[in-house]
A and B are shown apart, each in its own frame.
Chain A
């Protein structure tokens, strides 16, 4: 507590009330007083109210008039001395300021008059007056202002006039009246703004009082790193897969051969998906090797050309050169095919998944990019049914908070049956497709050497679509690629797919 604060408290104790701090503590400025009072008020030591009083101070010119008399007096004294004064000589005798104002005010007071030869003379009423007894009103008002007495008796018009003439300047005096507060005493502890380590270690906090905190505030902006929202949603999917016993596939292989991307998946060589319009082909390197497994190759050729494993085949001229074309994989199913081919060495129930990039040579728009992420699950087990697939899909999507699925027959070269998965969208008030699924075709699986009764379910969806719904992103370019705003990445919330994803 400052000495001044103590002084205030002591004075208040003595007087019981301080009517005017200005009068009581004339040596302290109003800012000092206010800050001391505020601080004491925060401690409930006192209450105070503020009184603002208008004051006037003489300017330099005003002070000069107070000493030397007003300009009009100067002029009449000069005229008296000279008898008459040519109007044109007023300025040169008294200076422009004094002459002009003095002349106007002397006329106004009826002290001077103008004769026929444009000369100023004392007016009739002053002819026999002792000029020293003449009341200099300007001077006496200025004296009154200077002494700060009975200011309210001065006509406001006169005050305004003096202000306009810059003889006086308006100021403000702030005064406070103070009464005792509910916790009045003459001692005081200072309010602390923050708890410090010293207070903690020395137990000092126990004797301290703390300033109230303004809770209607946001705190300071902290500097922080952030993970990308798309990867956050990817992590949610990974956890769903892990929780259902799925192992992550080595999907880190963007360049694929026509064989694994298409032929192995029973996509015929004239299929539109293999068009230059849809698939990125690679010119350097140009030609891939064929897979080492010659039996497999032979089976693939046969299922395409004339059929095998109970299939009549597509019945066309199958060309190994098409297999050797290199592409950027158009789906992660190319990796699934490789994994299933590996599984044929030791067939057993298996669960695999991948979430990784795929590439399509598509025109870019709000919902299409040349690259996006595919979420894919593969489940192999003996004699599983379509009903098992349906139930499993319901469980999988339920973990994303999506329920009430419907399944629509569709076509896919490598699955049969194929089912599109739909869910009801509350916002759009319609069924929206949320994924694709099916049982891999025997032509694909048996060519690999997998046993007939080991059936394989596959399903997939894009990672971007549910993320766009989750984070209300309209344009895929605002989610993936270099045009994504860092602010968006820094401020987006946790993914939590189980929270109202498609609603």
Chain B
């Protein structure tokens, strides 16, 4: 969610009222913004002008500057009409060359003619571009914009892709001329790393760089990196050329529309934008830009009323929508249809449901009649079977005086393998591609690392330490759509001055008995029905040699016995790998066999 800082007094002047903090908070809340911070108190100390920090919905690009916020709130408060955005006649062209298809295929442009900015509006113009670049434009990868003093350059303009060494210009805020390849080097320097350097990766590996030139082949900008020093704008610039280049055409148009609608209010002819003729013959996309034709979307009055639980007339709905900058008129042919005129500033409206939501906001979420329709009577609730099994494990373990722990599912590769004296044959564990720390390299395949880490953090606790966990481990499986599946495990440990193997063995017996599974003597031979036994097994290197066993389970008479887990005295190396200087016994069982 983007946060926009606006000058408090300037906003209140634009809204025609000095709001108290609480009043403004209330206004924001009902409209769908969040007042994150009011810097009035801080500003008293620093002597700066107080600002309001507003959290804006991520799809409302028209609210990323004070111009748009005040315009929308004034319409919401019914203080102002929606501007009628118009185009004048084009005076120049942007000619798109086919070569740009290799790197950044879309471009568009517009002119803000006879504009008068002051310091505040100039700063807002720059800040809006920054916000758009950071959010909608995905850090310039999808869309980048440049602004130029039109009086310093001459159309028609050309958008081309050229080999880096053939591009030569003085970039913005530099004094020296660079070629494209030298410029990349320059921006990769440590001083620029967190500035323009952040965008270098978008083009650096391409054999050609996108470039916008004027009719005299002067470089205006090298998107998405930098404009030229020559064409740079200032607060006094009267005619601004906006260039937009993009890999996503829809977003390029949104950005151009937002920039021009928000700032055309400062032109001598307010809300009028001078279009640019886009010549794009190679792909048949020649057109006039921007496109200010309003969209009309038809919405059913019944649909809106049904969603909101209201019985409003066409006029009443239209009134709610008008507060949200949507102009609606009832269709002459079909009384149920509203023709809703959607301004170019509202690209977030994709579907009738978006209009329905605006009708709800216009009405006020908290004014809506509360529905009484939903009764709980007709629904039979069911727990997830494996969660029920888990709960049996959990309750039985805690009754047996073990303490439940909840370690994380993610762990380091070593914790899951090497520290347990296990090797990774590659077909078991899911591995993460982009963890921020070594702590999160794999999804665990056993509950042991988390339990041992918990014991380590609680070494000072009185001995013995008896903890258990019932949780999911994850295994790879190439046959599944998701290539991996969860398996519910139960595990418990006894940590003390001695290994307590018999205690863990006894706990296993208690748990098994809870699941109607008796111990069978002589390794399953003494009885033929359902039951369990343990058999020595030295294959799990995590255990001390001669002190590891597998847990065998026969589900019913005649069923093939199968291994469902293992238990044993943990190897001293394992204990020391986890910094736990005690003896311990551990048991882990696949809980899903009891489903």
Contacts and interface: CB of A to CB of B under 8 A. Distances in A.
Contacts of A254: 409, 443, 472, 474, 484, 486
Interface string A292-331: 1000000000000001011111111100000000101000
Interface in B370-395: 370-374, 376-384, 386-387, 394-395
Nearest to B248: A316
Interface string A113-151: 000000000000000000000000000000000000000
B21 to A, nearest CB: 11
Contacts of B386: 250, 252
Contact of A439 (B307, B368, B371): B307
A410 B32 contact: yes
Interface in A424-458: 431, 439, 441-443, 455
18 contacts: A225-B402, A254-B474, A255-B430, A255-B482, A280-B433, A282-B484, A316-B251, A349-B379, A357-B409, A361-B436, A370-B410, A370-B440, A384-B373, A387-B370, A388-B372, A409-B365, A416-B357, A481-B407
A227 B394 contact: yes
Contacts of A167: none
B398 A391 contact: no
Contacts, number: 296
A220 interface: no
Contacts of B361: 409, 417
B414 interface: no
B31 interface: yes
Nearest to B401: A225
B354 interface: yes
A196 interface: no
Contact of A238 (B383, B407, B434): B383
B484 A255 contact: yes
A394 B368 CA distance: 13
Contact of B378 (A230, A245, A257, A439): A245
Nearest to A383: B306
Given A394-B370, A489-B404, A326 B483 contact: yes
Contacts of A289: 480-481, 483
Contacts of A312: 350-351
A253 B486 contact: yes
A351 to B, nearest CB: 5
B357 A489 contact: no
B479 to A, nearest CB: 9
A467 to B, nearest CB: 11
Given A254-B474, A283-B432, A482 B404 contact: no
B481 A406 contact: no
A231 B486 contact: no
A286 to B, nearest CB: 8
A422 B351 CA distance: 27
B381 A246 contact: yes
A4 interface: no
Interface stretch (B170-178, B183-191, B456-464): B456-464
Given A227-B398, A406-B366, A381 B483 contact: no
B329 interface: no
Given A249-B384, A315-B250, A351 B370 contact: no
A228 interface: yes
Contacts of B410: 328, 359, 370-371
B503 to A, nearest CB: 13
A241 B381 CA distance: 8
A187 to B, nearest CB: 48
Interface in A236-273: 238, 241-257, 260, 270, 272
Q: Which of A226, A251, A406, A481 has the most CB of B within 10 A?
A: A481
B136 to A, nearest CB: 9
Given A370-B440, A455-B307, A411 B406 contact: no
B401 A224 contact: yes
Nearest to B382: A247
A274 to B, nearest CB: 10
A83 to B, nearest CB: 81
B142 A270 contact: yes
Contact of B431 (A244, A283, A287, A390): A283
Contacts of A253: 482, 485-486
A351 B379 contact: yes
B145 interface: no
B247 to A, nearest CB: 9
Nearest to A363: B436
B368 A390 contact: yes
A315 B406 CA distance: 44
Nearest to A325: B433
A253 B387 CA distance: 13
B405 interface: yes
Contacts of A10: none
Contacts of A252: 384, 386, 472, 486, 488
Nearest to A409: B32
Given A383-B306, A409-B31, A441 B401 contact: no
B249 to A, nearest CB: 8
Nearest to A249: B384
A226 B370 contact: no
Nearest to A457: B374
Contacts of B378: 245, 349
Contacts of A310: 351-352
Give chain B's interface residue range (CB within 8 Å of chain A).
35 or more
A284 interface: yes
Interface in B106-150: 135, 138, 142
Query: 8 nearest interchain CB pairs?
Result: A245-B379, A388-B371, A409-B32, A385-B309, A225-B398, A411-B57, A482-B453, A387-B309
A223 interface: yes
Contacts of A486: 403, 405, 454, 458, 461, 465, 467
A411 B401 contact: no
Interface string A328-345: 100000000000000000
A386 interface: yes
A257 B480 CA distance: 11
Given A407-B366, A409-B57, 7 more contacts: A224-B401, A242-B383, A289-B480, A317-B248, A385-B368, A387-B368, A387-B369
B373 A388 contact: yes
Interface string B486-520: 10100000000000000000000000000000000
B490 to A, nearest CB: 14
Contacts of A260: 482
A490 B348 CA distance: 51
A386 B309 contact: yes
Given A285-B430, A392-B374, A419 B474 contact: no
A224 to B, nearest CB: 6
Nearest to B379: A245
Contacts of B309: 385-388
A482 B467 CA distance: 12
Interface string A210-238: 00000000000001111110110000001
A247 B57 CA distance: 32
B224 interface: no
B384 A314 contact: no
A501 interface: no
B583 interface: no
Interface in A147-180: none
B318 interface: no
B308 A390 contact: no
Given A280-B432, A283-B432, A417-B357, A313 B405 contact: no
B374 A379 contact: yes
A485 B462 CA distance: 12
B443 to A, nearest CB: 6
B29 interface: yes
A487 interface: yes
B162 interface: no
Interface string A381-413: 101111111111010000000000011111100
Nearest to B400: A225
B353 interface: yes
Given A442-B353, A482-B456, A487-B461, A385 B307 contact: yes
